[in-house]
Structure 1
Amino acid sequence: MVGLSREHIERAVPLGSSSYYIIRFSPAPCRSALTHLFAWRNELINIPLECSDPGVAKTRLQWWQEEIKRSVNGNAQHPVAIALGETIKTHKLPELLFQKIADNIENDIEKASMAEWEDLHLYCLSHGGNFAELLSHTTGSNETFTTTIRQIGAYVTLVNLLRNLGADLRRGYCLLPDSLLRQHQLRPEQLLQSKSRARSQEMLQTLSDIATQWRIEALESLPTQPPTGLRPVLNQLALAQRLHAVLVTDGFNVVDGRTHLTPLQKLWTAWRVGRKVKGDR
């Protein structure tokens, strides 16, 4: 099996990171494949973070879009894409899901704004929902839970958006729906101003409530004892839910700070998921 160098693994799945524990507490036969998926996603999400020039970023993204096709055809060039190619072949992963995730990165490069909640929901489904679906394909989950899996991915993305809000605003990027900002009489630049803090907190509470609603909707069709194939997605969910709870407890200190779970919190949270999953006991 094609593997990744330690450098690529540590870059994509650093020890103590959420992705590390998502993989560590997933079925052992799937861990290498899951690592390849996280490594590939890491390459893409870093494009708008590392390239300040939108033109350069788009060129790099286009190269990766072509590299996905080369991965499927078995002639990829990048070490991550070469490893991913075998994972795609072994687990019969749909190329379309990779392309949709890559297409969504273009929104990040262009710093596209969202007009309504529906637009943000589609963004979160495209980014997190498609990736969660890839994770579940890798572990053999059937199509019965596709809607649930995608909604979990959307929830995870929204919680991360909430956590990263301050950092995103400082680089001129705001994914908050225009309708939400108007509701609280705010403009993106005002979110960084202390004089607007009260209205910002009310807006963040609204955002948090929507995230909770998405999570509840995602779990409506989930059985009491989910199948093992859902383990990586449920690990994602548990870690996002724990982070969400900490954000609420901290009073949404996301503008001036960036909340993190400790490695011990992540370890404990991901381990507990196994007590609820069928076949993990």
Structure 2
Amino acid sequence: MNFDDYCQQKAAPPGSSTYYALRQASAARQPLLTALFALRRELEETAKETSDPTVGRTKLAWWQKELAALAAGTPSHPVTKALASHLHDAGATYPEFHADLQALLAGFEMDFEQARYLDLPNLRRYLNGVGGMFATLVAKLSARNEAERSDAARWAAPLGTALVMAQFVPELGNDARHGRIYVPIDELQRYNVTAADLINRRYSPEFTELMQFQTARAREAVHAALDAMPAAARRDQRCLRALAALELALLDEVEREQFQVLHQQIALTPIRKLWIAWRAARRA
């Protein structure tokens, strides 16, 4: 298996939302973006599927060294080999993205520092690391010129944090079963929902109200971030626009299913994903 095939299978297997979003990017940028999504998936799997914090930190430390090897021109992992190859093909240089990649890794390190967050301001540091920084990287690597790349962080970071907020809604039950609850403690208390309710899959009118609030806030944040995307950047940012449309559609589906996310995985069908991503990428 070559490194491109590895990245495709890791980041965007056929039928996944990422698969359809990446297909909306320009053909020239798809291999590089796929490698970036694969790196994010590697870090996410390390953070969310490693129960022992010591083991998790050790794995992330290995990735930190591998990113340094990428900077030195000696990557060993298929994902970093793909990044090295396609960054060069795109005319980009690794040092330009070194700090952003390290910030992305630092965001996932937070999963081993805490599993609960007191309030939304406390949670935002995590959102900025795993969401805002990733969307900024996608936007920079999708941009056609230096001016658009320099402006990317201004509008892409809020979009990335909004997308992660949206992802928390359908993943709430799965995250809780893995010991992580991304609903702030003060919001659980406001709606009289406990962590035990989430872990033990207990539905209630209070839980429904909590989820209505979480869904509305995430939806509003995604729409606001999309509205802030410059008109000149919209064509080049079709991948991010498709991702946003898919997350919004999934929120609608969760709402239709009356927020039954604690015991099941609610998902869109592949044909719906294809249509939603294609349509979103072609809107003016």
The whole-number CA distance in structure 1 between the counterparts of 2:157 and 2:185 is 24
**CA distances 1:35-80 after superposition (whole Å, capped 9, x unpaired):** 1101111111111333222111110001101211211221112121
**CA distances 1:83-115 after superposition (whole Å, capped 9, x unpaired):** 212334533352111111111111223443211
The whole-number CA distance in structure 2 between the counterparts of 1:6 and 1:276 is 30
The whole-number CA distance in structure 2 between the counterparts of 1:257 and 1:156 is 21
Higher mean C-alpha deviation, range 177-186 or range 260-269: 177-186
Q: 8 Å contact 1:72–1:88 — kept in the other structure? A: no
Instruction: Tell me the SS of whatever aligns to 1:163.
Output: coil
The whole-number CA distance in structure 2 between the counterparts of 1:265 and 1:148 is 27
Q: 8 Å contact 1:130–1:153 — kept in the other structure? A: yes
**CA distances 1:13-39 after superposition (whole Å, capped 9, x unpaired):** 101111111111111110110111011
Residue of structure 2 equivalent to 1:146: 153
Please list every run of 5 or more consecutive structure 1 residues that lacks an aligned counterpart in the other structure: none
- Correspondence list, 1:81-230, <5 A: 81-89=80-88, 90-92=91-93, 93-140=96-143, 142=148, 143-193=150-200, 197-223=204-230, 226-230=233-237
- In the TM superposition, residue 215 of structure 1 has moved relative to its aligned partner by 1.9
- Correspondence list, 1:239-250, <5 A: 239-250=246-257
Percent identity for Structure 1 against Structure 2: 28
- Correspondence list, 1:7-46, <5 A: 7-46=6-45
User: CA-atom RMSD, angstroms?
Assistant: 2.0
Relative distance call for 1:194 and 1:97 in structure 2 (3 A) is closer
**CA distances 1:157-213 after superposition (whole Å, capped 9, x unpaired):** 111111111011112111111110111122211224466522111111111121123
- In the TM superposition, residue 275 of structure 1 has moved relative to its aligned partner by 2.2
Aligned length: 275
Instruction: Tell me the SS of whatever aligns to 2:236.
Output: helix
Instruction: Say whether residues 1:238 and 2:262 are aligned partners.
Output: no
- In the TM superposition, residue 119 of structure 1 has moved relative to its aligned partner by 2.1
Please list every run of 5 or more consecutive structure 2 residues that lacks an aligned counterpart in the other structure: none
The whole-number CA distance in structure 2 between the counterparts of 1:128 and 1:201 is 25
Residue of structure 2 equivalent to 1:66: 65
Q: 8 Å contact 2:107–2:130 — kept in the other structure? A: yes
Q: 8 Å contact 1:111–1:174 — kept in the other structure? A: no
Relative distance call for 1:225 and 1:245 in structure 2 (3 A) is farther
Give the AA of the match of 2:242: N
- In the TM superposition, residue 137 of structure 1 has moved relative to its aligned partner by 1.1
Relative distance call for 1:64 and 1:194 in structure 2 (3 A) is closer
Instruction: Tell me the SS of whatever aligns to 1:245.
Output: helix
Question: TM-score w.r.t. structure 1 length?
Answer: 0.90
The whole-number CA distance in structure 1 between the counterparts of 2:73 and 2:241 is 31
The whole-number CA distance in structure 2 between the counterparts of 1:276 and 1:217 is 16
Q: 8 Å contact 1:74–1:82 — kept in the other structure? A: no
Relative distance call for 1:256 and 1:58 in structure 2 (3 A) is same
The whole-number CA distance in structure 1 between the counterparts of 2:202 and 2:64 is 43
Relative distance call for 1:155 and 1:6 in structure 2 (3 A) is same
- In the TM superposition, residue 7 of structure 1 has moved relative to its aligned partner by 4.0
Relative distance call for 1:196 and 1:133 in structure 2 (3 A) is same
The whole-number CA distance in structure 1 between the counterparts of 2:185 and 2:278 is 39
